[in-house]
Structure 1
Amino acid sequence: MLKPSETVLVVVDVQGKLARLMYNSEAMHQQLITLISGARIFDIPILWLEQLPDKLGPTSEELRLVLEGFSPIPKEHFSGWACDEFQQALNNTGRKQVLLCGIETHICVYQSCRDMLDNGFDVHLVADAMGSRTAENKALGLQMMGEAGAKLTNVESLLFELQHHAVGDSFRALLKLIK
């Protein structure tokens, strides 16, 4: 089971014009907003990656708004793990459960996932908060990561799993968020 005290959210490369080219981009952006907002309810650390931001542009504006207070980590490799700053930030959280989301599912998300799995992290793929330019590439990316040992989930399932108990302030905040 996912536990807020053991979990970190990793947002991969939802930037520039490329983010708008994802299959079903608007729905993906809405799920990302819900996921990030939910992570904030549970005080889950958020690590936010940007691939070559000087070339690909910044993270989508609506996501930057909900990521306020966090700073992006720029990277050059497809895998976030290849970035020392990201590795250090992830290890510094002391958490081993990773909620993984972003773009593109079959490239940067996939390579980041494989590297985190290879380094002992328990990776949970937030499928409805990921995207690729085609539905087929997204599906294949999810399949490849699942076969490598990552677990598949979605925004609502994981938020209620983190909540675990249908009472309290966080439960009321969660209900407002998903309605």
Structure 2
Amino acid sequence: MSPHAYLVDDDEAIRDSLGWLLESRGVACLSYPSAEDFLAAWNPSLTGCVVLDIRMDGMSGPELFATLCEHGSKLPVIFLTGHGDVPMAVAALKQGAFDFVEKPCNDNELVNRVIEALKLDETQRLAASGADTVNALTDRLTTRERQVMDLILAGKLNKVIADELQISMRTVEVHRANLFEKMGVRTAVELAQLLAGKR
């Protein structure tokens, strides 16, 4: 199944407005009126992220989060909180939640966080799919791109890499952009995280 934002909130108006907002920015989403409904639909193959209200009738957001963690879910979770719920949201962050956003929230800020959570989920799944996937990605690199990658992972700046490989800064930048694209990452940190499971 393609990545989705899963909206779990017992307020229909919020589900509708957030759903419309996310889809207007190109984020596919599915809505659930309760934690129990989402739990019934959840399975380990779901990809994306969960936007979860803290206070709901029946099972609360933190209870659902704890249950998902027990089931081994790696879906990033963004909590929607009222002002008085911030301590609860901070506690959830310490247990591994991705973020929390206070209601009423800045719409674009929330969507930006959802998009970041979707990217994190994608990166985690790539890394978790094992060394075979990482090997398949690195196999696509040219010899020069591998050299540049090793020096990036060693923490060296473009200028230093250019000096060591005796090529121009511009050439380093081109190799860097190409290898990031082939590896499916945006930063050196993401590259290091992706390769951490392999090394």
Q: TM-score range by the shorter chain?
A: 0.3 to 0.5
Higher relative contact order (CA 8 A, sep 6+): 1
Structure that is richer in strand per residue = 1
TM-score normalised by L of structure 1? 0.45
TM-score normalised by L of structure 2? 0.41
